[in-house]
Amino acid sequence: METETIEILDNDGINRALTRIAHEILEKNKGSEDLVLIGIRTGGAYLATELHKKLTQIEGQDIPLGMIDVTMYRDDLASRNNLAVGQTDISFPVSNKKIILVDDVLFTGRTIRAAMDAVMDLGRPQNMQLAILVDRGHRELPIRPDFIGRNLPTARNEQIEVDFDEKNIPQAVFLLRS
Amino acid sequence: MSFNPKHILGIKDLSADEINFILDTADSFKEINTRDIKKVPTLRGKTIVNLFFEASTRTRTSFEIAGKRLSADTVNISASSSSVVKGETLEDTAQNIEAMHPDIIVMRHSASGSCDYLAERLNCSVINAGDGTHEHPSQALLDAFTIRQHKGAIEGLTVTIAGDITHSRVVRSNIYCLKKLGAKVRIAGPRTMVPPGIEKLGCEVYYNLKEAVTDADCVMMLRIQRERQGATLIPSVREYARYFGLNEEKLKLAKKDAIVMHPGPINRGVELASAVADGSQNVILDQVENGVAVRMALLYLVAGGEKLQQD
C-alpha cells in the first residue's frame, strides 16, 4: 500500500513552537530559578538541546541540560528484541529542582512514565513538567503535557515522524498515513 | 543493530560487532554504579542462579551485584554447600534448579565445556563464568572494556599476556576477543606453561618476558594457579618471579603509557611485584569496577527479548 506523507510542521514552524514553549515555561515557572531540562533520547534529547538554546538566550543565564535514556525502565522489555541501551547523562542533582521533561511525540504515555521513574531514581525533584513537540493522542496512562507544540489528533495506524538533520537540528514533522 | 543471544558461552562464537555491542551496552549501564540509588527495574521478576562449582570471590560477587542492580532476584549456590558433595551429577543438579524456573544460570565449573553441555540440556539461558581451561567470556569482555576506556580503541594495540597460558581460560577468551577487535596479541610464559600450537589462534609466542613486553600498550599478567597444576610446572616460585614476574624494570620496556592488568587474585611478589601492582600504570581495580557494568550488559542482553517466551 502506498504511504501518504503530510507535512505538519516545517523548520520555521518547529522553531516558532519551541520559542513559544520556551516563553510559556518561563512564564509558568516565573523565571528560570531551579529549572532543569531533561531530554528523552533520542528525539527529545535533540529538542531539549534546541529548547535549551532558546531559554538561555531569553534568560541570559545557563540552565542545566541533561539527557536520559529510558530503555532500562521500559515496561515491554520482555516482549521485544533487545534495544540498544543509550547513555543517561545528568551531571547535576535533580533533588528539589523543577524538571522539564522534553520529548518529540507524545503517544501512549508509556515512555513518559518510564522517564518519570528514571528521574525519580536520581533524586526527589520539586516537580516535573512535560514539554512535547507533537501530542498525537491515544494515551494509555493518566499523563498530560504541560507545554505542547502542536496538538494533532491521529488514527492509531498513522505515524508521526520528526526529521532531524546531521547536526540533530529538527527540520520537519510528518504524518505518515498508509 | 540488535543482539539477542540465548546464552553467553564463549567469545569464540561472537563477532566483532556483537562484542562491541556488548561493550557499548556496558558503557550505558556503568553510570548506574555511581548513583546514590544503584538500582534500575530492568530485570524485575527475573531469577538468576549463580551456580559456582569452583571458588570465586570477584566473579560471583560481580555477577550477584550486577543482577541485583538490575532488580533481578539472585541466588548463589556454591559447590561446597550443595548436594554436589553428596554425589549428585551436574545434569541432575542443573535440572533440579531449572525445575524452580530461573531465567538465567550463571555457572562456573572445573570441567571445560560444562557450560555448553548444560546449555544444550536446559531451557533457561546459561552464562559461562569460567569453565575449566576453556573460556571465561565475561573476564575477556571486561578486559576489553577497560582497555578501550584507557586507550580509546583496541584496534592496532599490542597486548602482552604472560603467565600460565596452558591452564588459563582467561587467556583463551582474551585472545579471541582482542584478535577480533584488531589488537596484536603476544603470549609469554615458560615453555612448560605455553601449549604447542597456540600461535594458531593468531598470537605471537615469547618465552622471554622482557622481549614480550617491549613496546607493548598493555601488559596482562596471569596468576600462577597453585591450586591447579601450576606449582609443578616451574622449578620454584622464586625462579618464576625472577624471570616471569613483572617488576618496574621490566615494565619500563613497555610503552610509557602502557597499562598493567591482572584478572585477580594477585600473588604479590610472584607474577606482579608490589611496586607495579600499586603503581600508577595499574588498572586492576578499574577492571573489577567495569566487571559489574559488563555483567549487567550480559544479563540484560540474555534476559531480554522474545526468545524466553518461545521456550
Residue B195 phi/psi, 5-degree rounding, is: -70, 140
Catalytic residue (one of B60, B109, B136, B169)? B136
The grid coordinates listed for A145 are: 503535557
Helices then strands (H, E): number in chain B?
12, 9
The answer to whether B86 is a known catalytic residue is yes
- Give, rounded to a whole angstrom, the gap between the first and last alpha carbons of chain A: 6
> A81-109 pLDDT, tens per residue?
777 888 888 999 999 999 999 999 999 99
Contact residues on chain A for B32, CB-CB shorter than 8 A: 72
Please give the pLDDT value at position A142: 97
Task: Write b or e for each residue in A35-57: b if 16 or more Cβ atoms lie within 10 A of its Cβ, otherwise e.
Answer: bbbbbbbebbbbbbbbbbebbbe
Please give the pLDDT value at position B78: 84
Contacts of A153 (CB under 8 A, 6+ apart): A136, A137
| CB-based contact B40 A69, cutoff 8 Å | no
Please give the pLDDT value at position B101: 94
Suggest the residue from B23, B31, B46, B296 to mutate for an interface test with chain A (most A CBs closer than 10 A): B31
Instruction: Report how far residue B230's alpha carbon sits from residue B41's, in angstroms, rounded to the nearest whole number.
Output: 43
Q: What percent of chain B has pLDDT over 90?
A: 81
- Looking at the complex, does the CB of residue A91 fall below 8 Å from at least one CB of chain B? no
Look up the pTM and report it.
Answer: 0.89
Suggest the residue from A85, A110, A121 to mutate for an interface test with chain B (most B CBs closer than 10 A): A85
For cell 610446572, name the residue. Answer: B233
Chains A and B: how many Cβ contacts under 8 Å?
Answer: 64
Q: In order of start, what are the domains of chain B with their CATH numbers?
A: 16-135+289-310 (3.40.50.1370), 137-283 (3.40.50.1370)
Contacts of A47 (CB under 8 A, 6+ apart): A18, A39, A102, A103, A104, A133, A162, A170
Q: Which of A23-37, A39-53, A118-132, B71-85 has the lowest mean pLDDT?
A: B71-85
Catalytic residue (one of B57, B86, B89, B101)? B86
Closest CB to A82: pick one of B4, B29, B309: B4
Q: Quick check: helix, strand or coil at residue B66? A: helix
Distance between A117 CA and the closest CA of chain B, angstroms: 9
Q: How confident is the model at residue B308 (pLDDT cuts 50, 70, 90)?
A: very low
> B207-234 pLDDT, tens per residue?
999 999 999 999 999 998 776 665 688 8
> ipTM of the predicted structure?
0.79
| CB-based contact A81 B4, cutoff 8 Å | yes
The answer to whether B172 is a known catalytic residue is no
Q: In order of start, what are the domains of chain A with their CATH numbers?
A: 12-155 (3.40.50.2020)
Our measurement of the distance from residue A30's CA atom to the centroid of its chain's CA atoms, rounded to an integer in Å, reads 21
Continuous H helices in chain B = 16-30, 58-69, 90-98, 114-121, 137-151, 169-180, 209-213, 237-244, 248-251, 274-277, 284-303, 307-310
Closest CB to B305: pick one of A73, A80, A122: A80
| CB-based contact A78 B27, cutoff 8 Å | no
The answer to whether B148 is a known catalytic residue is no
